[in-house]
Amino acid sequence: MHERQNKYKSRKYIVQTIFVAIAIIFLIRLFILQVVENEYKLSAQNNVLRYVTQYPGRGLIYDRYGELLVFNEACYDLLVIPRQVKDIDTVLLCRLLNISTEDYIKRFQKAKKYSRYKPSIFLEQISREDYGFLEEQLYKFPGFFVQTRTLRKYPHTNAAHILGYIGEVNSNDLEKDEYYTQGDYIGISGIEKFYEKDLRGKKGLKIKMVDVFNREKGSYMDGKYDSLAIAGKDLHLTIDLVLQEYGERLMQNKRGGIVAIEPSTGEILAMVSAPSFDPNLLVGRIRSQNYSMLSGDTLNPLFNRAIMSQYPPGSTFKPISTVIGLNEGVLSTKTKYSCAGENAKPIKCSHNHESPLDLIHAIEQSCNPYFWKVYKSIIEQDKFSTVQEAYDHWGNEVRNFGVGKILKTDISGQKDGNLPTHHYFDGYYGPKGWKAITTRSLSVGQGEIELTPLQLANVAAIFANRGYYYDPHIVKAKGKDKRDNTEYINRTDLPYSKEHFEIAIDGMKLVYEGNHGSARWHRVKGISMCGKTGTAQNPHGASHSVFMAFAPVENPKIAIAVLVENSGYGSTWACPIASLMIRKYIQREFKPTRTEKKILEANLLNVIPEED
């Protein structure tokens, strides 16, 4: 009996020990949860804490001379946590927000669908004035609170396509980058898109205590867990605002594009797409409405013609043919071709001039039969066993000039133009159904070959540099310390002799200075200039006016391409626009001229297209 009592007594102690041990474990864990691990403590107090994202100001944007192009202005987003919304006066809230009851219901349902427990934007981009009225009454609406944001503002109405715009992130943006949450903004186009990670900065966080009446009672633990937002980097563009604004004025009521480049650096001085729009239209709560209006405009002002439109270069292609022909050894300065009578076939000359011409004067007077024969002599060389081999060799030489390929640049949305391989013609005519004469239109920059204004401006820079170019780019430096943007200092040297370029340049000088030069009426006193006009036939309407140029001839400061859609000869519109742009950049100020007045007043938007 005594042994049995001792046995039960020992079991009692074991059970008591187990319970004590469990109690000690719970006490230790409770101590850790309440004292050591603040994370759980914060979670337990979630009902009285508000986590407010601190959005950084996006980086400012300046032109090459420090003129401010884009800055930030404060605005406010109204956020909601649906589960905290109880017994509020929705009529009063709708009146303060200037929205309908139906709109309130729609927005609230959208917030609940996202999350009943997490905050989401109820109404975005409330102005400072409207926020003043709301702030006084906000305590009446538990579950609603405001966080500060910034809107982009544009002190000038220029360079809309260059700068681009920002908009709300979509589902793809959220999946690709965890930085963003629903309701955040991101660069959609232009510089805003390409340099998004530089411009956006780094978010911060503030944890605030809120009472049951939705009133803030201060920072949690004196801001111990807060973090500061870090502003985005400023960008310093290569753009000259004065030149950009002037180009946009010259292209008013016209379709087309202008691109001007500093040849020695590849820096883009101006990039004009016409028609354009005021970048302030795509800011704030009216952005969606204005975007719909602009996208529905038949003139398509949102389309960046400077980098996305692809046009036949016309006779501006002839200097390229010159360099390739000289390099192939089928052409020299003494080579003469006649364009009279039977010699003019199958391509006729559109200019009246003496015949035959040598190379330099053929460039000056833009003789089509001459350059058809240059092309023919390249394709029909004995060293090629097939026309396909010859054509692809010629095509590769042309691509050296940046034709038919995407240029390395910091401008998003660029098109590559067009320069087909022999497979295109094989498919159209059959492998044995074509030869040089079949593709003769390519010799004068017509047919299948197409360039963007950016590519043509880069070609002008290549000739200005006598055989090389730097990647054309639009951001010169980053940050307040203006640290150089070194990503686009790559120099590309073409595999041709400098002397070959000098020969072509001699002809391009005569375009301005020769007795028969097509640009002779638009030379600028005190500035030596080289250029080449083009009249690009358009299968869908009137011909395009095209021109490329650079100046001064020695130590060039600017290379430029101008294209005016459906406006006729290159010497009529594109050439004088380019000459005025060159003069504006180099001389800055000059007295108004009759040519300038004519261009500023011209409306070429209502040109009646020719039938196909």
Residue 368 near residue 349 (C-beta atoms within 8 A): yes
Q: Is it the case that residue 8 has pLDDT exceeding 60?
A: no
| Centroid of chain to Cα 337 | 44
The DSSP bridge partners found for residue 268 are 261
What is the Cα–Cα distance from 477 to 468, expressed in whole angstroms?
23
Backbone angles phi, psi at 211, to 5 degrees: -85, 180
386: which residues sit within 8 A by CB, 6+ positions away? none
Q: What is the mean pLDDT of the chain?
A: 89
Residue among 17, 578, 533 nearest 261 (CA): 578
Band of the pLDDT at 609, cuts 50, 70, 90?
very low
Band of the pLDDT at 2, cuts 50, 70, 90?
low
What is the Cα–Cα distance from 562 to 220, expressed in whole angstroms?
60
Band of the pLDDT at 320, cuts 50, 70, 90?
very high
Band of the pLDDT at 119, cuts 50, 70, 90?
confident
342: which residues sit within 8 A by CB, 6+ positions away? none
Residue 104 near residue 93 (C-beta atoms within 8 A): yes
| Model pTM score | 0.86
The DSSP bridge partners found for residue 470 are 491
What is the Cα–Cα distance from 136 to 31, expressed in whole angstroms?
42
Residue 542 DSSP SS3: strand
Q: What is the DSSP string of 495-538?
A: SS-HHHHHHHHHHHHHHHHSTT-TTGGG-BTTB--EEEEEEEEE
- State the pLDDT at residue 3: 56
Eight-state DSSP code of residue 578: H
Residue 77 DSSP SS3: strand
Q: In the chain, what is the greatest distance between 2 CA atoms, to the nearest angstrom?
A: 141
Q: Is it the case that residue 370 has pLDDT exceeding 90?
A: yes
- State the pLDDT at residue 612: 29
What is the Cα–Cα distance from 371 to 442, expressed in whole angstroms?
10
Residue 565 near residue 544 (C-beta atoms within 8 A): yes
Tokens of 312: 């036949």
- State the pLDDT at residue 42: 46
The DSSP bridge partners found for residue 166 are 187
Tokens of 172: 């793809």
Band of the pLDDT at 376, cuts 50, 70, 90?
very high
- State the pLDDT at residue 33: 56
- State the pLDDT at residue 375: 96
What is the Cα–Cα distance from 13 to 2, expressed in whole angstroms?
17
61-62 and 216-219 strand pairing: unpaired
Own/partner long-range contacts of 284-287 (Cβ < 8 Å, ≥24 apart)? 284/75, 284/125, 284/151, 285/124, 285/125, 287/165, 287/167
Average pLDDT over residues 156-180: 93
Band of the pLDDT at 346, cuts 50, 70, 90?
confident
CA separation, residue 281 to residues 105, 250, 251 (Å):
28, 22, 20
